[in-house]
A and B are shown apart, each in its own frame.
Chain A
Amino acid sequence: MPPAALPNQPGQPQDEEAAAAGRRRSELTMLAFAVGVVAFAYINVGLSMKGQSPGTFVAYIILFAVISGAAHLAVRRWAPYADPLFVPLAMLLNGLGLVFIYRLNQAGVKGNPGNYNLAGKTIPIPTLAADSTTMQFVFTVIGIGLFVAFLVFIKEPRVLQRYTYLFGLIGVVLFGLPAVLPDSLSEVPGTTAKVQIAIPGLGSVQPEEFAKIFLAVSFAGYLVMKRDVLSLAGKRVLGVDLPRGRDMGPILVMWVISMLVLVFESDIGTSAVFMGLFVGMIYIATGRNSWLLIGFGMFVVGAVIAGALISHIAARFSTWLHPFSVANLVDGAQPSYQLVQGLYGMASGGVLGRGLGNGQPFWTPLVQNDLVFTGFGEELGLTGVMALLLIYGLIVQRGLRTALMIKDPFSKLLAGGLSFMLALQVFVIVGGVTRLIPLAGIPTPWLSQGGSNLIASWVMIGILVRLSDMARRPAPKPIQDEGLTQVVSLK
């Protein structure tokens, strides 16, 4: 048998380029598939809600295809070796989110008749603001814009390590800002959560979405510096390697911040993601089980104490355990009404779903935000829900795989941390709305209405694509003409 051509072999540059081009080709094919699914979903909504297919959404499909193409060209030009799955998967999620906002925005035949006439009573059904779909497209364009800008300007992710403390400071400020602002600016209407900054006349920003990215970069830089002392120093107690007391500083600080978020912003979801991100990253950096135990224990103790002291946190546990009780569902403020309506929606979808535009997701309050996953469950069924979870799972898996391939510790930690953070976010919100864990409202990445999360998610994909490009980039080509030194691959 003749020896197979070896890729990445010095002196065979055409093979490397061919391999990169091949990856981009498969990316383009998958991207075309994602655009096709989204286009089909648009047509589906149009047919079932209006009884006709074309309409304004033809423009949406074209615009979506153009945005997807731009993202692909940027990767082709500036990160040619990147994993081909990131952009198509994220684009598919983003597209389905756009379709669902469009779907909720329509009043049509069955799916949202505007008013529901039930036994002689007219029950008004909320629709989203008229410009919701357009705004979501604007946010998508901004997100893709930042994604491209990141690839253009950050060629070498290690430069971010220089700003470890600056990014940490920015992250903490962004995190804490809503807590110190007056309620009128920071409280999300209709809830007790103080997580946004309202800009009068323009809308609102949820700074924590960006804070998480800054903090992930900052944690990576800090932990790379301190990793030796955090992983080795300490003594063994009862079979567990405990770190030294003086090394507990950082985790204590993070714990205090997450508790402050919990108490002052009433946002147990973000608080959990934040703490989980730090604990996950310190574990990846040190490989030390004791950090997991300490971090997890601290968060649980903190949450339990906060639950005992703060009534609305206790109420979350009560609505989780007894959502159908009279006290939670019928009386007073009906704290479990939203969760229960989401569950009814998923149940109504069953295995195959009602079909886009045929369900009644409008019964669920704020279905376009935290509970968007139940809307998908209702209209796409268990089948669609499993597909969405697989897409998220694949993005996380590709991110973790990138982390495994990278040699540079800072980049490795950053890739691992961001991937784990995405997994945590999906777990917290999807687990929350399906009553696996107590419901803590955070956006569902790419799917929920709103710009902050969408833009931050695209920045995260930008970082992962850049890291993946670095990890898969072949070793530098030898300079054959000089003939003196030769780089030898030791594979």
Chain B
Amino acid sequence: MDLPAPRSRAILPVSALIALSAALLAILVIAALSYRALSARTEAAGAVNHTNDVEDHLHRFLSGVKDAETGQRGFLLTGEEHYLTPYQLALGAISTELATLRRMTADNPMQQQRLDGIAPLLTAKLAELADTIARKRSGDEAGALAVVRSDRGNVTMERIRQLVDVMLDTEQRLLVERNAVWETTVQWSSYVMLGGVAVLIAMILMIGTVASRSFRSVESDAWARRVQLALTAELQGDLGLESIGDKLLRVLVDHLGAQVAAIYVTEGKTEGKTEGKTEGNGVLRRIAGHALAPSIGRDPTLRSGDGLTGQAAKEGRLVHLRDVPADYLDVSSAVGKARPRELVIAPASSDGVVQAVTELGFLHHVDAVELAAIERMSGSIAVAIRAARDRSRLEQLLEEIQRQAEELQAQQEELRVTNEELEVQTHVLEQSRTRLENQQTELEQINTQLEDQAQSLELQRDELTRTGAALQRANDHKSQFLANMSHELRTPLNSSLILAKLLSDNRDGNLTAEQVRYAQTIYAAGNDLLILINDILDMSKIEAGALDVRAEPIALARMIDELGHTFQPIAKHRQLALELRIAPSAPEVLDSDPTRLQQVLKNLLSNALKFTERGGVTLEVAAGDGGVRFTVRDTGIGIPADQHEAIFEPFRQVDGQAQRRSGGTGLGLSISRDLARLLGGELRVASAPGQGSTFTLTLPGRTSAARATTGRHDAANPPPVTPHAAGPAPFPDDRDRAGPGTRTLLIVEDDVAFARVLYDLAHELEFLAVAATTAEDGLALARSASPSAIVLDVGLPDRSGLAVLDVLKRDSRTRHIPVHVISVSDHQRTALEMGATGYALKPVDRERLVEALRQLEAKFTQQLRRVLIVEDDPVLRDSTARLLAGDDVETVTAGTAAEALDQLRGSTFDCMVLDLALPDRSGLELLADMARGEQAGFPPVIVYTGRALSHDEVHELERFSRSIIIKGARSPERLLDEVTLFLHQVEARLSPERRRMLRDARDREAAFEGRRILVVEDDVRNLFALSNVLEPRGAIVEIARNGREAIDHLHARPGVDLVLMDIMMPEMDGLEAIRRLRGDDRFTRTPIIALTANAMIDDRDRCIAAGANDYIAKPLDVDKLLSLARVWIRR
């Protein structure tokens, strides 16, 4: 590679300089020679002239002498003075001429010498002349003539003439000589001129050659630079390899005139190699081609070392091929192909690494300059390719970095979610820890209780051992009696019953009315007897624990009345006074089994009447011992104390006499006592002989209706809820899995079979289920298992189901649980009043049970929130209620504090909105009442008042409950927000239900399933298109042709889920239709999407202004329309 030479200061190339110097020298030589020749010629010419001058002057000199002689002769002859004038003139001229000659021949000593010879002669001659003249003048003419005749003058003259001739000859000779010199000089200078010209021409030719060469080199340089510049210009900017390839080829083809070209880049392990060769396994990939034959285009890769190209790449040397192999890199065009004459394959390397190989085919000869240019460009190409590679690698790295940044961000986000989840879990754990602690405390209590129970069990066991023996005896009696009597009694009884029936029917009409009545009495009595016998069988059932008791509310007054009807005739007959009394303290309604209770009371009354001779019998019903006390008092014979126990034993009476006298089985008291126990009460006797007897039946239980008279009292003192652990399940149920957050159904039902049915049904409906057979177990489970819903039977062995319902509704832990009541008798009203969700009469079929469970499910999933609004202004009350009411909010209003308290006692509320100014009491007092009376739940209270509250008042309010918000501003919006917040808080406490998720996870494609979409459009083709899009997705497409039809349609068939409204329509346009719909309360929330025909922004704004929810421009983009519809379709 050329080292860059320091910038040359030379103004010309050396060769040119030499040539120029030679030329200069030649010119100088020529000039010198010419000058010399010229000066020689001038000299020669001067010499000739000089000679001529000298001759001339010699002639003039001679003629001057002659003139002088002539003048002298004339004078001499004539004496005439005027003949002397030429003489006079000649004298001056002669000396001048002589001086001139002397001067002119100063360089010629010979001539000088001759002049010197002339000078005395002249003097002599002149002297002779002057002598003659003087003689003449003086008149000595003869002397003068003598002198002349002496010939002296002539001789002198001759001598002078001779000398002048010699001089002339000399001068002539000199002239010839000088002419010869001149000739020579002229000839020589011609030679010099010719030679100089020849040299100059040679020099000019030489300089021309040099200049031409340098011009050509400058031109090639400029061309190469232009190519280089074009290349550089093309390679500007961030280019990819392919575009670089294309551009490179374009430059090469344009500037070099290549007909066919291709550029390959090296790939594989060429990077970082120090040697200028690609690895043996390096691959060349063609990135661009120009006019390549299609056959070449197939495989764009070459292996390094393969073919010429590969070889060039491998060796890193330029290959110039003049004899191109056949078919190698043919030039291809649409009309045919040609073989290039010459081929250049130039590897381009940068830092010793071959980056690319350029292959160029030419139809013309490639000269060295082009080759050099190609070679030079290769460097740029290599740099560009490498830069492109680096750039693309950089780009890749940047992209990778971006990817990593995104990944990092995603991880951060995920981490945040995990963090939040952990926080929630921590919170949940905290809660469950608290719950566990509570449970532990409860367990400890239960433990203590169990210990107590264990003690009492021990006592009971002792008693049992004693009673066991008695039981054995009684059993013996009973078995014997049953064996002997039962059958034999029934047989005749049946006959007499039939006969009595026949008699009472009085078919022949021959009996008196009295006789008929007797017959009826016989029939009735017989029936009683039969019942009694059945009782005996009952008895064994009771003892086997097989008799069931169905509790239901009993209207005591009616029952007592009935008893009166039954027994008054008997008393009257026995002339006894029978008094039936209900004490004021007694409840109106008692929860118990009416049949059994009646049985007991009848037994007691008939016994009393039986064993009383005179006096009277009293039945008194009164409250007592936490229940109801029935006291039957008689004035009969009395029973000795030692017999008190015995009379309750089956088949025993005070004495045999009485039994015989009074008749009867002696079973009554025994059954009565058993029944009393079965009803949860007890039967006692107080008596002494002659003092009469008092039988007292005490039954537990209160009733709901009792509140009418004693409600306040009762409500203030709820029955103590004794911690009670649930008994064992009647069958394996889900109590291990039940708990807060599960969908658990509690079944309280003593009929195990029916409970089982409910259990299975619950599973079918994806509930967990727990079952209890007694009221106590039921209550315990309601608290411990956190059921979502309860199915409650009224007839439970220990307490009435209604009592259970009451307890449930008074306990803050259980009152939110919806309860469905099932009973054989109709207590619907009572149950519903007490807060039951539903009521079903037994027997219940499966469908009704399913419906009941669904209703319960709906109840607890719907999460209806109840809001109590306490406000004295009726208008405001109503409007507030309307404001707050919604799908899931039920509002209850109260105008006074008393009403509010009633409502709070009666049911539970999620939130209470309170006006401080009430007619009967101030809101403050109401809150104080509420805080005092634990009976009613204390819901969160929003104090909503028009007047500003003083600081003290605020403080006072906050004293009552922390859940108080005071809102001075009477802004309905604010109020709504507050209530929303409360209700949300309630909701947030609940764990997410399965059902909700089920709803959420629904198929995204199902958004249109069964939805009604009204398309308002007058263009049939559009209608067709819209239907084709919407109907396959399950939507029901309804059609209106203009705005008016749309409005009519919506009025006739409301409940459309989405309206697609064209704007341009006949009769009534879309904008007008939308405006009218929005003006109608029913349609303010119906989603409407306007279909605008033209894309004017203005139009769209008008759609929105008219009340459309959004618009979509025609022509409709199906995907866009579906997406928009999905967003808006009513959920």
Q: Do A and B bind each other?
A: no
* A residues neighboring B (CB under 8 Å): none
